[in-house]
Structure 1
């Protein structure tokens, strides 16, 4: 089902990196490179980032500037002062986050990953929302590619649901995405996936339903920065999108925000 569903979003590994690259200047790349934790390789990292920006694709893995790129995603452009406050900061952060997610789709990078990547997804979504630059189609394409890559490696991977939620957030607010059936199908997949994670947690970890949050998703996976996902749910719940897709997205939003409660042993219908 995953391939049939996510193929509807035109999977493309480099679509978002290529589109973001058009708006990234050398000063933004230097800002990212300066996150080098050692401080000795800024020039090397800057050259590598220029190559990525100019070609619109990431180079052969592994690439050396990955750690600096990751540190760049920790910044909050809405909180800092100076040149990287606001729009320019969000362009730089979105570019960095898109690069990391693109890297995660590569087997060589993923095999060395000891953490999780979905927090970088939230960073990307927040910057794209702040920029409001019409990048939703490219972002959905890149995330759809990533979901399929994760599924090929491990069909039980719990991170898939977060990237599915990211696609839903983008699809609902995309002015140029009119495929209601795809959004409804995505919402149905999200419910099924959350149910699978929930049942795994309580069957194999031996935890009772009362021992964890009753919020949909939070009860199944204890995500990092859970309050940011709850806020995403509130935004979905407040969506003004019409039709069945709007109804389905709002149902997911109410579950994720805690406004509605899932069944104790399953999910909940979304339409």
Structure 2
């Protein structure tokens, strides 16, 4: 399995240029939508336990943009609980938007906390958190996609993701595909797809001690939690559906990758 000493593969320069690295931009945007009612809803998430303490800690994150390192039960517990929330499509558009802002703030704070070495043992399941964050970014619009991409290019330049690193690589590729018509051309997308494949292959080789299963779904074969595999598959389906409209150089690599993820 990957360790903190495992060499990192470089993020393709075109992705770095398309999504300028910023560890703080995602949380900063989420903070702008974390109204007092949003924070109070989050503070009550743990069955109403320690509401005042959670609310105060969440408010500090909103006001300062800094996450505790090391992080404690307060506010980690409510951040993790709100991470799993699922906006109800049958509610009003205003309610759905608020629920995405709740989830986005929770996920952004957890992802930013996970980038702090002092939280290495406390904050984990980065992959499922990223899946939830990516789904909310898609719902909330292009500005969220841009800052999430910037967080990913910054985070992938750091150690500490271990076996979950390929999920960050795939998410970055997925954002680049959904932002087609933006700054990446076909050759750049094809290079990004090859890089994501290399990231997954390196992680799988270590995770399975050199003998990864050949027929297991790509990427999901190394999912240590499988908590949000359905979300990852939804991204692969969208990538597959959008592949025909991509530039010719990227079409086949993106389609093959998506289909490999949906197998099994």
Interval of TM-score (by shorter of Structure 1 and Structure 2): 0.7 to 0.9
1:230 aligns with 2:233: yes
* Counterpart residue number, 2:145: 136
Structure 1: distance between partners of 2:92 and 2:246:
40
Q: Secondary structure at the match of 2:143?
A: coil
Residue 37 (structure 1) shift = 5.5
User: What does 1:159-198 correspond to in 2, within 5 Å?
Assistant: 159-174=164-179, 177-180=182-185, 181-198=187-204
Q: What per-residue deviation string (whole Å, max 9, x for no partner) do you get for residues 192-223 of structure 1?
A: 1222233334445x67x47xx53222344465
1:23-102 alignment runs, 5 A limit: 23-36=33-46, 39-40=49-50, 42-55=51-64, 57-63=65-71, 64-78=74-88, 85-102=95-112
- TM-score, normalisation: structure 2: 0.81
- What is the CA–CA distance in structure 2 between the aligned matches of 1:200 and 1:34, rounded to whole Å? 41
Q: CA separation in 2, counterparts of 1:83 and 1:134?
A: 19
Matched residue, 2:246: 242
After superposition, the C-alpha distances for 1:224-260 in whole angstroms (9 at most, x for unaligned) are 132332222111111154213454333321221229x
1:147 counterpart = 2:156: yes
Contact 1:232–1:257 (Cα < 8 Å) also in 2:
no
User: Is 1:103 paired with 2:105?
Assistant: no
Alpha-carbon displacement from aligned partner over 1:109-168 (angstroms, at most 9, x marks no partner): 11334x42210111111112222353111110112222222xx347xx110000111112
CA gap of 1:108–1:38, structure 2 versus 1, over 3 A, is farther
Structure 1, unaligned runs of 5 or more = 260-271
What's the offset of the Cα at 1:175? 5.8
Q: 2-side partners of 1:232 and 1:195: how far apart?
A: 19
Number of aligned residue pairs: 248
Answer 1 or 2: higher relative contact order, Cα 8 Å, separation at least 6.
2
